[in-house]
Homo-oligomer: A and B are copies of this chain.
Amino acid sequence: MFERAKIRLFVEHPLGEGQTIPLAKDQAHYLFGVMRRDQGDRVALFNGRDGEWTAEIVEAGKRAGTLSCLGQAAPQLDPPDLWLLFAPIKKQRTDFIVEKAAEMGASRIVPVLTEFTNSERVRVDRLQAHAVEAAEQCGGTFVPEVAEPVKLDRLLDAWDGSRHLMFCDETRAGAASALSGERDRPWAILIGPEGGFSETERKRLAALDAAAPVSLGPRILRADTAAVAAMTLWQSALGDW
């Protein structure tokens, strides 16, 4: 395995022995303009499929560039089949939730609109860019997909019963128990909005066979804190930690 380079870039292009990778305009600007890298310097590349590869810069231009794969530096590490479902909140905290979900190893990020969700329009492309940046930063080789926002009712109507749903219900005490022995099943974590779930939503979630309500302690956590806390409980009990 090659030594891992400090700067990491996500690319769509296939990675492998002798592959040549053209750089997009913004990546060329970042790599050559901002980070001042040049021909001969090494960069880490990943595309979510082929692990991490160490590549050498063969062409460095203002608006374009070319990299050449030297060798693999890390194997592909896909996260467990864990979705993070969250009700969008203020812009900055929504950005944080997406960043944290990528760092914590969620495989899919789904903005969910609940009765008490009040937030500006969700810009999926911006959130996806945050997920990419977080994956580049945290050394992961996978970028979770940010899905289009969906209404909670719609989501539950179409719920696949084989996917467990961990939802953070403030009325419930005792976390660990709800999270035992389902390692081989797909999971989703649902974080409610600042106002919590409505009574109707709470009942519907509780009635769901696949649902596992968990408590996140005696204090009421903000949505972004709750997202990290819930993913931590899941990862340490059932995930890749």
Contact = CB atoms under 8 A, between A and B. Distances in A.
A232 interface: yes
Contacts of A228: 225, 228-229, 232
Interface size range on A against B: 20 to 34
A99 B99 CA distance: 18
A139 B232 contact: no
A57 interface: no
**Number of copies of this protein chain within its complex:** 2
Report which residue of A99, A100, A140 has the largest number of chain B beta carbons within 10 angstroms of its beta carbon: A100
A77 interface: yes
Contacts of A175: 236, 241
A124 B176 CA distance: 35
A51 interface: no
A77 to B, nearest CB: 6
Contacts of A122: none
Interface stretch (A108-116, A197-205, A213-221): A213-221
A224 B62 CA distance: 34
Interface in A81-104: 96, 99-100, 103-104
A83 to B, nearest CB: 17
A92 to B, nearest CB: 8
B217 A241 contact: yes
B219 A105 contact: yes
Given A228-B229, A232-B232, A236-B233, A218 B104 contact: no
Interface in A226-241: 228-229, 232-233, 235-236, 239-241
Nearest to A139: B220
5 contacts: A96-B96, A104-B217, A138-B219, A138-B221, A176-B236
